[in-house]
Amino acid sequence: MSTDSPATPPDASSSDAFPFGQDIVWTPDPDTLAESNLRAFMDAEGIENYDALMRRATEDVAWFWDAALRDLDIQFYEAYDEVLDTSEGGIERPRWCTGGKLNIVHNLIDKWKVDAEKKAQEALRWEGEDGQTQTITYDELEVRVCRCAGALAELGIGKGDPVGLYMPMIPQTVVAFLAIAKAGAIILPLFSGYGPGAIATRLQSAGAKALFCADGFTRRKRPITMKENVDEALATCPTVEHVVLYRHLPDEHAPDVTMTDGRDHFWSDLVPRQDDFYETTETSAEDPLMLIYTSGTTGAPKGAVHSHCGFPVKAAQDMRHSMDLKEGETMYWMSDMGWMMGPWLVFGTLINGATMVLYDGAPDHPGPGRLWQLCEDHGVTHLGLSPTLVRALKGHGTGPVEGHDLSALRAACSTGSPWDPESWTWLFEEVLGGEKPILNYSGGTEISGGILCGNFFEPLAPCAFSGPVPGMDADVVGPDGEPVREEVGELAIRQPWIGMTRGFWGDEDDERYLDSYWRCFEGLWVHGDFAAVDEHGLWYILGRSGDTINVAGKRLGPAEVEAAINTDDAVAESAAVGVPHEVKGQEVVAFAVLNDGNAPSDDLRGRLMERVTRALGKPLRPREILFAGTLPKTRNAKVMRRVIRAAYLGEDPGDTSSLEDPSTVEAVRNAV
C-alpha cells in the first residue's frame, strides 16, 4: 500500500449492499464454550471471561505470548530469557524468545514419538483427483522426514541454506517441507502453478541452494508438467546445486524428463535408502525457518522472513484459540504450499496433534459434490474455503450437498476475499444447517495467520468476523490514525505479535519493510485492508484499500458493487474495478460470470445495472457491465483486480505469476 498517506475509505452510509446492520443469526453454544480450548486456557491463567482475556492480551503482550507458548506445549532445547524484547528495534523490529534454542520440527513430529497412541494417529490424509488415497501416521511421517533430511545432508544441504519447494499438494510435499526445517535449512515454498520466470525470480532472490520438484500433476484429467519449467528457470539460477525430482504423474501421463548429471536426482533413488533416524538440527528460536514471497501490485516480490518461534506458533495458536481445533480433529484447507495457508495448515495441525487433509485436484471435479464428498470421507471437522468458491458452488443449488454426511463438520472457515450476504447465508443454512459457525479469517503472509477471525465465543451476523484473534491488538482507524467505529477505516495493529515477519529477505536496512507497513501512521502497522466495526462489535473486511474506486470524489470498495451484482440468481461471481475518466477521475467497470444455464443478454445487463444503481445511487452507476467466462484468480481464489483492470485497458498486466490459470486474462479481454 502507499506510504504517503492512508487511502480515503468508501462511504457505507448510502449502500444497501454494504454488509453493515445484518441481524445476528448464530449464537454460541454454552456446552461448546465450556469444553473449548480457549476456556481451558483462561481457566489455567485465572481469567474470568473472554473480554478480560482480550484486554489482558493487548495490555500485556509479553504475558500473552509466554502463556500461549505454554498452552501449545512448545518445547525448547534451551529456554528463552525473554519472550519479547523491543529495546533495540522498537515494536517495528522486536526480538522474540531471546536466547532460546528451538527447531520447530521437534514440536511438529519429534515430541510425539514418546506417545504410543499419538504415533498411531493419522497425521496426514491425502486424496488425488482420480480418487486415490493415502494416509500417513505420525510415526510414519517422522521416519519419512528423517530419510528426506538425510538425503539433504548427503547433498551437502544444511543449516541456513534456502531450499525451494515446487510441488503439488501431495504427501511428499509435506515430507520435504518438514525435512528442510529438520536439517536447519530454510523453506522456500513456490506456487505449483508458477512458470519459469516466477520460479527463477524467487530462487535468485533467496540464493536457493537446492530445489524439490515434481514432474507434474493433473487437473480435470489434464496433465500439467513442471520439470521443464524448472530446467528453464535454473538456466539463470547458478546457486541451485541440486534438484530432487519426485515422479507423481501416472504412467499414461508421465512426461519424458531431462536430468542434468550431477545436479538432478530422482527422489526414488535418493530418499528411500537413507536411515530411518536423523537428528534434528538445533537452531536458535529466531533463526530463519521460511521465506514466503508475496506479490504486490508494484516492485519485485517480497520475501517475508519467518522464524522457528514465529510463523508456526502463530498458526497453531490461531487454530487452537479461535478455531478450537482439538487434538485428533481433522482440518482441510484448500490451498497450495506456495501460499501461506499451505504451510499454515502443516504447522498448525501438527503442533496441535491434529490431522491435515490434502486434496490434489479441482474441488468441483468430476462434479460440484466433490468437496462435500471429501468432507464426509475424511471426517473433516474444520473446512477452509473461499467465498469465491462458495459463490460458484451455490449456483449448482443444494443437490450436491444433500446426501452427504457432514455431521463431523464443526465449522466452516473462510479466507481470500470479502463475502456477500447471499453466499454467506447459503453456506450457513444449506451446508451448516444454520447451527454451526462460519469462522471468517483474515490476515496475511506477513502476519503468519489472522488479524481477525470468527470464534465460538461471540455471536455472528452474515459476513462478519467475531473480532481480533487473541493476541492481536487490532483497530480500525480513520485518516488521522484515530479509532473509528460504525464507519470504514484502515485495518491497523497497535502491538507486536509473535508471528510478524522478521522483515524482507535482502532488505538489509529494513526500508522496504518499514515503508510497506509502518510509515502510514507512527507506531501503527497498517495492513492495507478497509475494515469496519458495527454497532454489535462485529468486524468486517471490505477489500484492499489499494482497490478503492474514486468516482468524482466518491470512494467505494469493489465489494460494494460486487455484492449488488451477486444478488442476481443468474450471477455466479463478479469483479469491479475503477478505470480512468477525464472528468470524474474514475468510473466503475464490472465483470460478471454467469451460472450455468444463463447467457449474456442486454436484458440481463440492464437488470444488473439497475441493481447496482439502486444499491449505490446513480452517481456510481457503472460505465459498463461485461460478461466474462471466468476471472483471473490466485490458487487460493483471490480475484486479481489489478490484472482485470490492466486487461480491460489493454495495458501490461505485470506480474501474473500468482494466477492459477494465466489464460483467464484473455477471458477479461474477450468479455462481452
- Based on the domain organization, do 336 and 413 belong to the same domain? yes
Give the range of the structural domain holding residue 272, as residue numbers without chain letter.
107-283
Q: How far is CA 22 from CA 422, 462, 644, in A?
A: 12, 6, 30
Backbone phi, psi, residue 361, to 5°: 170, 180
Residue 9: predicted pLDDT: 57
Does residue 14 belong to any structural domain of this protein? no
pLDDT in tens, 6-33: 555 555 443 444 566 678 999 999 999 9
Q: Tell me, what CATH number does 94's domain have?
A: 3.40.50.12780
DSSP class of 504: B
The answer to whether residues 177 and 152 touch, using CB atoms and an 8 Å cutoff, is no
**pLDDT single digits (tens) 584-593:** 778 899 999 9
pLDDT at residue 636, rounded to an integer: 60
**With bands split at pLDDT 50, 70 and 90, how would you rate the model's confidence at 165?**
very high
User: Strand pairing partners for 38?
Assistant: none
Total structural domains within the chain: 3
Strand order in the sheet with 624-627: 571-581, 585-594, 624-627
**Does the N-terminal peptide bond of residue 366 adopt cis geometry, omega within 30 degrees of 0?**
yes
Confirm if 498 and 314 have CB atoms less than 8 A apart: yes
Residue 472 above 50 pLDDT? yes
Query: Can you spell out the DSSP letters for 260-328?
Result: -TTTEEEHHHHSTTS-S--PPPP-BTTSEEEEEEE--SSSSPEEEEEETTTHHHHHHHIIIIIS---TT
Q: Which residue has the cell 537413507?
A: 274
Could you give the CA distance from residue 300 to residue 472 in angstroms, rounded to a whole number? 29
Q: Bridge-partner residues for 627, per DSSP?
A: 592
Q: Among 501, 525, 543, identify where a domain stops.
A: 543
In a domain, 520, yes or no: yes
Instruction: Look at 73-87, 170-184, 413-427 and tell me which has the smallest mean pLDDT.
Output: 413-427
Distance from C-alpha of 266 to C-alpha of 215, rounded to nearest angstrom:
10
Q: Check if the beta carbon of residue 303 is closer than 8 Å to that of residue 293.
A: yes
543: left (phi over 0), alpha (psi -120 to 50) or beta: left
Give the least confident one: 143-157, 333-347, 462-476, 606-620: 606-620
Q: Tell me the per-residue pLDDT of 639-668, one tens digit each, with 9 for 90 and over.
A: 888 889 889 988 887 777 777 788 888 888
**What is the C-alpha to C-alpha distance for residues 505 and 445, in angstroms, rounded to an integer?**
14
Query: Three-class SS of residue 645?
Result: helix
In a domain, 9, yes or no: no
Give the model's pLDDT for residue 173: 98
| Strand 474-477 to 489-493 pairing | antiparallel
Residues 621 and 637 in one domain: yes
- In Å, the largest CA–CA distance within the chain is 72
**Rounded distance between C-alpha atoms, residue 63 and residue 41, angstroms:** 13
Q: How is residue 476 written as a grid cell? A: 480500525
Mean model confidence pLDDT for the chain: 91
Say if residue 616 is in the same domain as residue 579: yes
SS3 596: coil
pLDDT at 594 over 70: yes
Mean pLDDT of 161-174: 98
* Residue range 88-127, pLDDT digits in tens: 999 999 999 999 999 999 999 999 999 999 999 999 999 9
pLDDT band with cut points at 50, 70 and 90 for residue 142: very high
Residue 3 within a domain: no
In the sheet with 489-493, reading across from the earlier edge strand, the strands are 474-477, 489-493, 525-533, 539-544
Q: Are residues 510 and 363 in the same domain?
A: yes
Average pLDDT over residues 244-252: 92
Domain membership flag for residue 18? no
pLDDT the model gives residue 553: 57
What single-letter DSSP state applies at residue 483?
A: B
Q: 223 forms bridges with which residues in the sheet?
A: 218
The Cα–Cα gap between 246 and 237 comes to: 20
Torsion of CA 636, 414, 351, 380, to 10 degrees: -100
The DSSP letter of residue 563 is: H
Per-residue confidence (pLDDT) for residue 612, from 0 to 100: 85
> 175 and 255: one domain?
yes
Q: How is residue 239 written as a grid cell?
A: 546457486
**Is residue 11 a part of any domain in this protein?**
no
Which range (117-121, 325-329, 331-335, 629-633) has the least confidence? Answer: 629-633
Is residue 410 domain-shared with residue 483, that is, in the same domain?
A: yes
Residue 306 · residue 501 · CB < 8 Å: yes
DSSP state of 67: H
In a domain, 25, yes or no: no
439 closest CA partner among 448, 447, 419: 419
The pLDDT confidence band at residue 305, using thresholds 50, 70 and 90, is: very high
Question: pLDDT value at position 298?
Answer: 45
**Cβ within 8 Å of residue 157, ≥6 positions away:** 163, 183, 185, 209, 210, 242
Contact 594, 627 (CB under 8 A): yes
Same-domain check for residues 87 and 115: no
Residues 528 and 439: beta-carbon distance below 8 Å: no
Percent of the chain with pLDDT over 90: 71
pLDDT of residue 10: 54
pLDDT at 3: 41
3-class state of residue 612 by DSSP: helix
Same domain, 270 and 324: no
Q: How far is CA 273 from CA 135, 146, 267, in A?
A: 21, 11, 10
The pLDDT score that the predictor gives to residue 591 is: 94
Within 510-568, strands assigned E span 525-533, 539-544, 549-551, 554-556
Best-predicted range by mean pLDDT (132-136, 221-225, 335-339, 647-651): 132-136
For residues 337-342, average pLDDT: 92
CATH code assigned at 594: 3.30.300.30
List 504's β-bridge partners, or say none.
304
Q: Do residue 459 and residue 532 come from a single domain?
A: yes
Looking at the structure, tell me whether residues 264 and 188 fall in a common domain. yes
Q: Considering 514, 543, 572, which residue would you say is the last residue of a domain?
A: 543
pLDDT of residue 255: 82
CB 237 within 8 A of CB 273: no
Highest mean pLDDT range out of 21-35, 259-273, 283-297, 616-630? Answer: 259-273
Q: Rounded CA gap, 236 and 216, in Å?
A: 22
pLDDT of residue 1: 35
- End of a domain among 226, 259, 283? 283
Kindly state whether residue 15 falls inside one of the protein's structural domains: no
Task: Give dist(CA 211, CA 238) in Å, integer.
Answer: 12
Q: How far apart are CA 116 and CA 349, in angstroms?
A: 18
pLDDT over threshold 70, residue 394: yes
> Mind listing the pLDDT tens digit for each residue in 187-214?
999 989 888 888 898 999 999 999 999 9
pLDDT band for 635, please (50, 70, 90 cuts).
low
- The DSSP code sequence of 97-150 is EET-B--THHHHTGGGGG-HHHHHSEEEEEEETTS-EEEEEHHHHHHHHHHHHH
- Write the pLDDT tens digit of every residue in 537-573: 999 988 776 676 767 656 566 877 888 898 899 999 8
What residue has cell string 504475558? Answer: 63
My answer on whether 327 and 384 are in the same domain is yes
Residues 335 and 349 in one domain: yes
What local confidence, expressed as pLDDT, does residue 505 receive? 96
